[in-house]
Chain A
Amino acid sequence: MDNTHIKNKKLLMTRTGAEREKQQSAEKAGKPITKRVRITITLTLFWFMLCGTGSVTPAEEWKQAVTPWQWVFPRDHGQHPEYRTEWWYFTGNLSDSQKRRYGYQLTFFRQAIASSPLRPHNPWSVRDVYLAHFALTDVSGKHFRHYDRSSRTGPGLAGADKDSMNVWTLNWSARMKKNGIHLEARQGDATLKLELRPRKPIVFHGEKGRSRKGPQEGQSSYYYSLTDLETTGTIKTPWSREEIRVEGTSWFDHEFGSNQLTRDQVGWDWFGLHLSDGRDLMVYFLRKSDGSIEAASSGTIIEKDGTTQHLNAADIRMDVLDRWTSPRSGAKYPSTWQLRIPAARIDITLAPLVTDQELTTTASTGITYWEGAVAGHGTSEERDVAVEGYMELTGYAGSLGGVF
C-alpha cells in the first residue's frame, strides 16, 4: 500500500465526518428525529401505547436486567416472560451449488402488553404480542424482499416455550431439536427451511451476558449469541420460484430486558461478521441525538476456538466511506464502512451485497430500517481476510417521528 492511498482514505474519512455533522444538523432543524435502537424496534408501537394509556402494567413491575444472569440451557433459549421485551434474531449468508449468494433474516419479537392476561382461561386475552420479520436477499440477482407480521398468542397462533427454543408467529418458527435449530417460514412465493448447527459455544456479550445500553442501572439487557452456525436447507425466493438447496453460516442473537433505552438515543448500527480466518465479530454503536456515540456501545470478538474478548467503544473505530439514500423513505443510510479494532489487529472495509435491503414493516413494528447481507475484505492479525455477515442500521428513517 502506498502513501497516496492512505492519504486518499484519510481525506475520504474527513469528508464523511463533515457530512455526518451536516446531516445531523439538518435532522435537528427539519425532520423530527426518531429515537430507536434495535430494542426499540420491538417496542415502538407498544411501549408508547402503554405509556399513553396506563391501562397496563407499569414499567416498574417488570424485572430489570440489573444483576448477572445465571445461564441455564436449553431453558434460557426459551422465553423470559418476566421481562417485557425479548427477541430471537437469525441472520445468515448462504450460497447454492452454483455459488450464487443469498442472505436471510428471520426475527421473532415478543412484546408484553401486560404482566398477566385479563381472562386467563380465554387464549385471546392479550399478554404478549409476537412480531416477526422475514427477509431474503438474492445477491446475484440484486433482489431483496421482506415480510412482516404480528399476532397475539391466541389459541396457539404465536408463542414461545419457556424451557427450550420453540418460538413461532403463525407459520414462521424457530425450534431447537437435538442441538440443531430448525427455521421455517413461508409467505407468498418465499419459503425458508433451514437447519442450523453451532460450531462454536454460546457467546455471552457484555458482563457475562448482561449488555449495557446506557449509563443508567436498568438500562441493560441479557444478550447471548450463537455466532457461527453451520447452515443447510432450502429456500425459495420470489424470483426463483423453485426450491434451492443452500448452505452457509448463520448468526443467532437472543436478547431480553425491560427498560433499555434513553430518549436521547437516536438509533444504532450493528454488525455481526464472520472473518475468513475463523474469527467472528459483533459490534454495535448507539448513536445519540447530539451526534456523539453512547459510551456503553461495545462489541465482542469470538476467536476460532470460541474464546471471546469484550470490546469497549474506545477500542473500535468506525468510519463511513459511502452513503445510500432510500428512494422510499428518503433515509440516508451509511453503506460502505471502514472498521478498525487496533487491539485485535482488525482493519476491514464492508459494503452491502445488495444496496437496497431496507425494511418497511407496516404490518408489525411499523419501523423502517436497513438490515442486510454485507461483505468485505481487509486484514486480521496482518493476514488478508474476506468478511461476510449482516449489518443493521436503525434510526435513519423518520417515519415514526410523530409517535415520540
Chain B
Amino acid sequence: MRVVTKSFLRYLLKRRSLSVLQLLGIACGVAAVVGMTLSAGSALSSFAQAVEFLRGKSTHVIERPAGPMEEKILKNLMNDPAIEAFSPVLDRQVRIESGDTVRLLGIDPFLDRVVRPELGYTPSAGDSSGRLGQFVDFLRKERSVLIENGLAAQLGVQPGSIIPTSKGDLYVLGLFPNPSGEPLLLMDIGHAQELLGLSGQVDRVDLILRDETGFRTRWSEGYRIQSHRQRKETLVAMLSAFRLNLEALSLLALFVGVFLIYNTSMFAVVSRRRDAGILRSLGTYRKEIVLAFLMEIMLFGIVGGALGGVLGYLLSRFLTGLLGNTITNLYFFLRPAAPAWSNWIVLAGSFLGCGASLLGGFLPLQELVRLDPVEALSGRAASRKAEKKTWHVALVGFCIIALGIALLLMSFVHVYVGFAGIFIFLLGIALVTGALLILIGPALKWVLYHLGGLPGKIAAGNIRRNLGRTSVAVSAFMVALALSIGLGAMIGSFRQSLLWWMNTQLRGDLYISTITDTQVPEDFYREVLAIPGLGGVDPFRNVQVTYKDTQISVTSVDASVLQRYTRFGWLRGGNENWDGVKSGAVIISESFFRRFKVKEGSTVTLEGINGPETLKVQAVFYDYTTEHGLVMMDRATYLRLYNDRTINSLGIFIDPGNPRRQELLEEVRRRARLRGLPILTRNQLQGNILTLFDSTFAVTRSMRVMAIVVAFFGISGALLTLFIERRRDFGIYRALGFSTSQIAVMTLLEGLGMGIVSFLLSTVTGTALAIMLIKVINLRSFNWTIFYYPAWQPYVLTGAVALCASIGAALYPIWKVRRTYPQMQIREE
C-alpha cells in the first residue's frame, strides 16, 4: 500500500507543473463558490443589521399610505393608551456636492432618545458641558446636523465644518457612529421641516406599542401601520428576486467548479492508467490502487480546496462591495461589512474541494476499478471502443437534455425548477460533447489542414483519437464559454430592452430633479405650467405603498401630457388607453400584471387616505423600473386617493416644431437653477439610467470573468496533461522527420482546434442559455419580459477568450518540446 501511494505521490512531484495547474483548477472552482456565498451572506446579514439599528426599540411604524402626514396627529398619538413611546421622523435625501444623495433624518431628540437610545446624540448625566452645548445648538441652531462617522471621514469634515448640499450649507455640530455604515445626517425635526419646506409635516412616526390590536382598531383608516417584523419582511421580500439571482450565481459557480474538478480528476485517472496497469501487473491489489488514487484525489481536494477558501475569501471582499453598490442602486442603501476571516473558511474550502473532487473522481474511479491490466499497459484505450462509449454517453446526454428542457417548461412551479433545468441542460450538453466532436471531426480536419498543412491534419486526428480526454476538456471549456456567452447575451438583451423602454416612456425634453433626488416644490410646478408655449409638463410622483401585504410602487402622472408625447409599450392597444386613465382608471406594469395576476379590464383595490378604493385597470404596459409591480394613475386620481401633493420630478415636453423651442428650454432651465433644482436632458436621464443598469450588473459580470478564468485553467490543464502524456509521440514525430517548429505548430493547432470546437459549441449552448435566462429565469423572478436581441459582442469577446486560452495553454508544451531532445522523448521512462 505504502509503495503504491509513494509511487502516486512521486508522480505528482515529477509532474509539478501539471500538479500546480490541477491544484489551481480546484482552487478556482472552490474560490468561485466560497466568494459568491460569503459575499451574498455578508450582504444579507448587514442588511438585517442596518434595519435593526435604525429601528431602535420601536415595534411599529405609522404613516400615511403615501406621502407625509400632518404633525397634529402627534397630539392624538400622545394620548393613545396603546402607545408606550413614539418618535416622529422626517426621512429624506439631500444631495451633497459629489452628486451622491445622503439620507437626512429629522428627529426630535427628546422623543427619539426613548425609541433610539443607541443613537446617543442626547447628552445624559455625566456628559461634559461640550456635549450639552452641542445639544442646545442642535435644538437652536438652524441647519445644524450631526453626521455619521463614515460619511464624515469620506467628506473629511469635523465639528465646525460646513457641508454644501442641494438644500444649502449644513453646519456640522458633531459626529455619531452608525454601525450599518449608511451615510446619515441627523437634524432637529423643526429645522428639517424648515430646510425641506415641510412645515407641519412628518414622514412617519416610530412607535413602541403595548397593545397592537387596540391601536389598530383606532388608527386603521387612512393610515398604514406596520410592525417592524412586517417592515423587515417587506424589505427582505423586496430583495427576494435579487437574492434568488445571487443564489443562482453561487450555484452556477459551484457547477463550473465541480465540473472543472471533475475534469481534473478525469485527467488524473486517465494519465495514470498506464501506471495503474503496471502496478496491477506487478501484483498490486485493485483495492490498493483505488485507495491510493482516492488519497491523491483527497490530497488535491484538501490542498486545492484550502487554497480556494483563501482565494474565495479575497474574492468575497471584492464582491461584497459590488453587491452593496447594486443593492444600494436598486433598493436601499447598503454598505455590507466585508466578511470576517475565519479558519472555518479554509476548512469549508477543503471540505468543498474534497467533496467536489470525490464527486468528480467518481466516474474516473469506476473506470480504474474495471481496468484490465493488459489493456492499460498497451497504452491508451482503443479508440474504436472509446468512440462506441462516446455514443453511449451522448445518448444519456440527450436524455438529460430532454429532462432539462422538461424542467424548464415546468418552471412555473418555482423558479428553482427553472434553475435546475438549466443546470441539467448544461450537464447534458457536456455529455453530448464527445459525440459532437466526432461529428465535427472531418470539418475540423479540413480547417486545421488549411491552417497548418500536415501538422494540422495530424492535430485534428489527435483530437479525435484521444476522444476520452479531449471530449472532457472540450466540454468543460465549452460550458464555461457558454456561461460567458449566455450571461453576456442576457445582459445585452436586457440593456437593449431597457433602451427601447426608455424611448417609449422617457420622451421629455427636460427633466427637473429625479426620483432619488429631493422633491420639486408644487409652486414650482405651477410656475413652469404657467410658462406659455410649453407642450406639456408631467408632474411625476413615485411612492411605495402596501398592496396585498407587499410593497409596490404607485406612480402619478399627467395622463393627457403622456398621451400626447409618449409611446408606451402596451401589451395590448395603443395610446387611446390613456383616455380611461384620464377618467380615473389606472394602468399597471407587466410585473404587476404577472405578479398579482391582475388582467386589464379587472380592478385593483388600494388603501387610500379614506379607506380602500377600487380602481379599474385600463391596460398593461412594459416596464423595467420595478419588479414588484407598479400602478400608474393620473395626478387627479392620486390626489383623491392619497392627498399627497409631493412631486418627485417634472418632465417638460415641447413640440418638436415649436420655433421658440430653445428659448423655452432655456427659460425652464433658468427657473430651475434659481430654485437649485437639478436639470437633466432626456439623454442625460437615459444615460444615468444606463449607468445605473450597468453598475447593477457588476456582480453578474464578475461572475462572467470568473467563468472565463475557470475556463482558462480548465483548458490549460487539460491540454497540458494531454501533451505531457504524449511527449513520447513528439519524439516519434521528431524521429520521423518533423521539425521542432512543425511539432510546435501541431501542438498549437491541436489546442486551437479544441478551442474552436469548444467555442462553436458554446455559441449554440450560450445562446440557448441566454434565451433560458431571459424567457424563464427573468420572467419568473422579475415578472418582466426581456426581448431577445441578438448581439455579436458577447460572441466575439468569448471567441477571443477561447482563442487566447487555447493558444496560451499550448505554449507551455511547445516550450517543453523545443527544449527537449527528441531521443529523450522517445525513451521509455
Contact = CB atoms under 8 A, between A and B. Distances in A.
B126 A402 contact: yes
Given A49-B129, A49-B135, A124-B193, A154 B108 contact: yes
Contact of B113 (A49, A53, A363): A363
Nearest to A173: B79
A48 B123 CA distance: 13
Contact of A403 (B129, B136, B137): B129
A122 B141 contact: no
B193 A367 contact: no
Interface stretch (A5-13, A111-119, A199-207): A111-119
A170 B111 CA distance: 10
Contacts of A126: 139-140, 190
A55 B132 contact: no
A310 B394 CA distance: 112
B766 to A, nearest CB: 60
Interface string B116-142: 000000011111111011011101111
A56 B140 CA distance: 8
Contacts of B210: 188
B385 interface: no
Interface in B65-115: 71-72, 74-75, 78-79, 81, 84, 108, 110-111, 113-114
B71 A155 contact: yes
A57 to B, nearest CB: 11
Given A56-B140, A399-B126, A403-B129, A151 B111 contact: yes
A43 interface: no
Chain A: interface secondary structure? loop
B188 interface: yes
A155 B75 contact: yes
Nearest to A121: B199
A53 B131 CA distance: 11
A55 B199 contact: no
Nearest to B78: A170
A77 B81 CA distance: 28
A362 B113 CA distance: 11
B132 A156 contact: no
A373 to B, nearest CB: 25
B254 interface: no
B133 A362 contact: no
A368 interface: yes
Contacts of B189: 124
Contacts of B199: 121-122
Interface string B37-73: 0000000000000000000000000000000000110
Contacts of A48: 129, 132
A400 B126 CA distance: 5
A386 interface: no
A309 interface: no
Interface string B370-397: 0000000000000000000000000000
Interface in A328-375: 360, 362-363, 366-368
A23 interface: no
Interface string B618-635: 000000000000000000
A97 B200 CA distance: 48
B194 interface: yes
A113 B140 CA distance: 9
A240 interface: no
B511 to A, nearest CB: 32
Contacts of B71: 123, 155
Contacts of A52: 129-130, 132-133, 136
Nearest to A150: B110
Most B CB within 10 A of own CB, among A121, A126, A157, A171: A157
Most A CB within 10 A of own CB, among B72, B78, B124, B188: B78
Contacts of A118: 140, 142
B136 A56 contact: yes
Contacts of B190: 119, 122-126
B136 A53 contact: yes
Most B CB within 10 A of own CB, among A56, A122, A151, A155: A155
A287 interface: no
Interface string B442-461: 00000000000000000000
B711 to A, nearest CB: 62
A116 B600 CA distance: 59
Given A45-B123, A124-B189, A155 B132 contact: no
B81 A186 contact: yes
Given A52-B133, A55-B137, A171-B78, A363 B142 contact: no
A129 interface: yes
A400 B136 contact: no
Interface in B187-215: 188-191, 193-194, 199-200, 210
Interface string A139-156: 000000000011110111
Contacts of B74: 154-157
B79 A171 contact: yes
A146 to B, nearest CB: 15
A268 B71 CA distance: 41
A124 B188 contact: yes
A224 to B, nearest CB: 29
Interface string A101-133: 000000000000110001101111110010000
A53 B139 contact: no
A263 to B, nearest CB: 15
Most A CB within 10 A of own CB, among B84, B108, B132: B132
A155 B127 CA distance: 29
B72 A156 contact: yes
Contacts of B132: 45, 48-49, 52, 403
B72 A155 contact: yes
Contacts of B188: 124
Contact of A53 (B81, B137, B194, B200): B137
Nearest to A399: B125
A122 to B, nearest CB: 5
Interface in A47-86: 48-50, 52-53, 55-56
Given A119-B190, A122-B190, A403-B129, A55 B136 contact: yes
A369 to B, nearest CB: 12
Given A118-B142, A157-B74, 14 more contacts: A48-B129, A55-B137, A56-B140, A119-B190, A121-B199, A124-B108, A124-B188, A129-B110, A149-B110, A157-B75, A186-B81, A362-B124, A363-B114, A366-B125
24 contacts: A48-B132, A52-B133, A53-B137, A118-B140, A119-B190, A122-B194, A123-B190, A124-B108, A124-B191, A126-B190, A149-B114, A151-B110, A154-B74, A155-B71, A155-B74, A157-B75, A157-B78, A157-B111, A170-B78, A362-B124, A363-B113, A363-B114, A367-B125, A399-B125
